[in-house]
A and B are shown apart, each in its own frame.
Chain A
């Protein structure tokens, strides 16, 4: 009896704590998402009354080259972005864990992430300008050939990825650092008594025990970068020659330039499904909710 009431009490407290977040979730995520599903079955230009068209938007989507091209570009962007971002983040985290406890270093590494996306994009737009930017001045100083970066269809998406790797690797590093600090030090001590090399310790102890953090970083950064939009809106506006017209940019263009709300919603719903499937798969494969420390 007293056990039950304690359990009830603690779950009540639990709900109390998530209550503010729950309100935000229902109001700003769940409800609009539900509305989007509804809108995706209509033809609606934002200004006149919507009318029901059934699955027409989804059929149109499957036949739309630019939709597939947008998905492809977003996927390509994730492949450019994530591996390097995670490797650099992990490297920084291990280096910080071993070499310094300095708060200043931590703050400096996190700083790019604390700046607004638009600001970061604008700063890099200036620095990467092929004719007036500092990057090509440095490139020329070292005797290399200047590049067009964001202006070249072959380099634009890579340049956007580079900007965001620079911005996000600090956050990755902080998350990994927090994970590293939960790994008991005695594991490393006994390993070094056995004469295990640094690299093997990293492979056999650090990496496996970082798994829950790794899952979190992978899921949030893959879904986040699949939805890349703001940097592109500021730096390339989808160009040159559609080379950065990623799926979310195409969705926004349909919604607010072409006034095709129904079609934009159909693509959003599809994108959401893809992301959901990816997240579930990733969590399943990497057994996200278990830890090897127990």
Chain B
């Protein structure tokens, strides 16, 4: 989330492919990397629908949600917007989203074209609040210059195992990649954990209620489950599987394998990786282009390690396009949403190779497009075929997020034991979710 914070001075870019007297649909998104693809979609769309023009505005993550909710109140929100699973329950609760089910039925849309699970998470009680646009998974990025010097092969990296007791082959590799100021790695007796030059692995942070890139994949591969069901009110943050995972992550800095939590909260793990101070970090597929533009050394994306469950696990998050209930042009807005969810637009998005579109088979096309730019992003595809789980969906998400952020920070700072902090936090979470 750090990048989002640094770039919250928003770039607002507006494109308008407009014909005179056309109905104008306002559309917003937060990821500037995706803007060119959607500009292309808007152009193609207007060519097919000369009476509708689409105006796209992009603003950074933090501004995005504030602007959207103030827009709802003041009646100036965009007709169509990119929606997030963590945010949409609040909008549904307050009747801000148009139920798309009657449009879908009327136009005979086939939801089975989308990758399994992506369509269903945007529905509740027979209503449908968004049409899937793309998905993301998590992988790890490795500095291959450091790995090669340490004699660690790509094959070893691709098939790591992990457990919360001794860290499995993951920790063995991390030890080989961690170097102190004298050039000793962390498998050596001479290794000085207080004078580390390159950390083998860097946990990005506390991760709030999702731990999307921070801890959820370790925890789930260790038997953890967020909640009873999407929208469910039972949460299991006090489960031992999560406590053991967080104890393990909090222990890495003590071994000198990661930097202290308090030293990584300003510029963070991404900058450490780019500066060559961290050899492996976890990240999401939406960062593929960012790293390719910024990393100067040789790098490679690798799948996450297999956990005690014997499987790799990743959060599988899907974005969708939603229509605001206050839109004055709902029919035109629906035409645009339908186009965004169609193979026509999603194949354009795939060809730009920035994110993985929701329609089955399109992700492989995106990976191919990235291969053309010499980026191997197949690790994310591997992850999508492993054990996947959705981010938790609950009402009062922002308060649950804030509670979990504080609790996990106190664990990573060594102020509280994981079991203690998590059981207190889970009690608060249950009060918010019920």
A residues engaging B (CB < 8 A)? 45-48, 118, 122, 125-126, 128-133, 148-153, 234-237, 239-242, 253, 256-259
A126 to B402 alpha-carbon distance, docked (Å)? 25
Closest residue of chain B to A252, judged by CB? B66
> B402 near A45 (CB under 8 angstroms)?
no
A84 to B267 alpha-carbon distance, docked (Å)? 28
8 contacts between A and B (CB under 8 A): A130-B259, A239-B265, A239-B409, A241-B413, A256-B66, A256-B69, A257-B402, A258-B398
> A131 near B398 (CB under 8 angstroms)?
no
Could you say which residues of chain A place their CB within 8 Å of the CB of B91? Answer: 47
> A132 near B262 (CB under 8 angstroms)?
no
Stretch at the interface among B270-278, B327-335, B346-354: B270-278
Could you say which residues of chain A place their CB within 8 Å of the CB of B265? Answer: 150-151, 236, 239-240
A131 to B5 alpha-carbon distance, docked (Å)? 19
> B73 near A47 (CB under 8 angstroms)?
yes
Task: Tell me if B6 is interfacial: C-beta within 8 Å of chain A.
Answer: yes
Residue from the list A47, A129, A257 in contact with B266, Cβ < 8 A = A129
A4 to B65 alpha-carbon distance, docked (Å)? 58
A257 to B209 alpha-carbon distance, docked (Å)? 14
Could you say which residues of chain A place their CB within 8 Å of the CB of B9? Answer: 118
Closest residue of chain B to A146, judged by CB? B263
Closest residue of chain B to A257, judged by CB? B398
Residue from the list B94, B262, B267 in contact with A126, Cβ < 8 A = B267
Could you say which residues of chain B place their CB within 8 Å of the CB of A129? Answer: 266-267, 271
Residue from the list B66, B73, B94, B264 in contact with A131, Cβ < 8 A = B264
How many B residues have CB within 8 A of the partner chain?
A: 37
> B272 near A132 (CB under 8 angstroms)?
yes
> A237 near B263 (CB under 8 angstroms)?
no
When A118-B9, A241-B406, A242-B406 are in contact, do A130 and B263 touch as well, CB less than 8 Å?
A: yes
Q: How would you classify the secondary structure of chain A's contact residues: helix, strand, loop or mixed?
A: loop
Closest residue of chain B to A241, judged by CB? B409
Task: Tell me if B405 is interfacial: C-beta within 8 Å of chain A.
Answer: yes
Could you say which residues of chain A place their CB within 8 Å of the CB of B6? Answer: 122
Could you say which residues of chain B place their CB within 8 Å of the CB of A237? Answer: 5
Could you say which residues of chain A place their CB within 8 Å of the CB of B398? Answer: 257-259
Task: Tell me if B298 is interfacial: C-beta within 8 Å of chain A.
Answer: no
Task: Tell me if B192 is interfacial: C-beta within 8 Å of chain A.
Answer: no
Task: Output the least CB separation between A242 and chain B (Å).
Answer: 6
> B266 near A46 (CB under 8 angstroms)?
no
Chain B 266-293 per-residue mask, 1 if CB under 8 angstroms from chain A, else 0: 1100011001010000000000000000
A240 to B399 alpha-carbon distance, docked (Å)? 17
Task: Output the least CB separation between A67 and chain B (Å).
Answer: 14
> B399 near A131 (CB under 8 angstroms)?
no
A58 to B96 alpha-carbon distance, docked (Å)? 29
Closest residue of chain A to B265, judged by CB? A151
Could you say which residues of chain A place their CB within 8 Å of the CB of B267? Answer: 125-126, 129, 131-133
Among B405-428, those with CB < 8 Å from A are 405-406, 409-410, 413, 415
Task: Tell me if B236 is interfacial: C-beta within 8 Å of chain A.
Answer: no
> B266 near A241 (CB under 8 angstroms)?
no
Closest residue of chain A to B96, judged by CB? A47
Could you say which residues of chain B place their CB within 8 Å of the CB of A46? Answer: 69-70, 72-73
Among B336-374, those with CB < 8 Å from A are none
Could you say which residues of chain A place their CB within 8 Å of the CB of B90? Answer: 47, 259
Could you say which residues of chain A place their CB within 8 Å of the CB of B299? Answer: none
When A150-B266, A242-B406 are in contact, do A132 and B96 touch as well, CB less than 8 Å?
A: no
When A46-B69, A47-B96 are in contact, do A239 and B266 touch as well, CB less than 8 Å?
A: no
